[in-house]
Amino acid sequence: MYVCLAEAMPGSKLWEGIRTFDDAVFGFVSGCISEGLTRFMKAATFLGSEWCIAFLAVMVPALIFILKKKKYYRHGLLLSANIALGALFNQVLKLVFRRPRPDVLRLVEQSGYSFPSGHAMNSMIFYGLAAYLLVRRGRHWSRYLVAGFVAVLVLLIGLSRIYLGVHYASDVLAGFLIGAGWLIIAARVSDRIPG
């Protein structure tokens, strides 16, 4: 049974609607499970993991420093600070909502609470700001292709969390929405940085 927040507030039409949405999405996604697709989804989920994003959040400013691109120092530091604060906010939200993970077939093990999806929220915050900075500060036309690739990557990371059975669809959707709101604020801050 796909347990949902509806059990915490029985009779609520909102939570019943969320449960129906979660069940429908999981029913569709679970019908696509295959060995090859599972390998692909595990790779996608890794790109949204805290380890991968933390590594990139350290490497991007380090690379900017090594290449001596002084006008991008502040943007590199903003990228790192943005994800650090965003990830902390995600953990606070998880502790507030304390939603258990889905009780379905899990293709990977995952501990902690489910709502909102950290992978979805953090990938939107980190990769989204990186793409925004590239489009705003870059000069080559290929920056738009990279930004499009990043958008697809972020969507795949969210989908992988549902596919692997560690998040409800509503967790992922909430992660994207909260991450997008955070991203808008970070983009406005980045616009005030000279360079």
Task: Report d(CA 57, CA 75) in Å as an integer.
Answer: 11
- 44, 119, 161, 162: which one is catalytic? 119
What is the per-residue pLDDT for 195? Answer: 62
Annotated active-site residue 75? The verdict is no
What is the per-residue pLDDT for 10? Answer: 52
- 79, 167, 175, 186: which one is catalytic? 167
What is the per-residue pLDDT for 6? Answer: 41
How many CB atoms are closer than 10 A to CB 195?
A: 11
What is the per-residue pLDDT for 132? Answer: 92
100 and 3 Cβ atoms separated by less than 8 Å: yes
- DSSP-derived letter for residue 100 is P
**How far apart, in Å, are the Cα atoms of 36 and each of 32, 146, 172?**
11, 25, 23
Sequence-ordered list of residues with C-beta below 8 angstroms from that of 19, at least 6 positions apart, any chain: 2, 4, 5, 6
What is the per-residue pLDDT for 92? Answer: 95
Tens of pLDDT along the chain (195 residues)?
Answer: 344 444 445 557 877 888 888 888 888 888 888 999 999 999 999 999 999 999 999 998 898 888 888 878 888 889 899 999 999 999 999 999 999 998 887 878 888 899 999 999 999 999 999 999 888 877 888 889 999 999 999 999 999 999 999 999 999 999 999 999 999 999 999 888 876
pTM of the entire predicted model = 0.86
CA angle 168, 169, 173 (to 5 degrees): 125
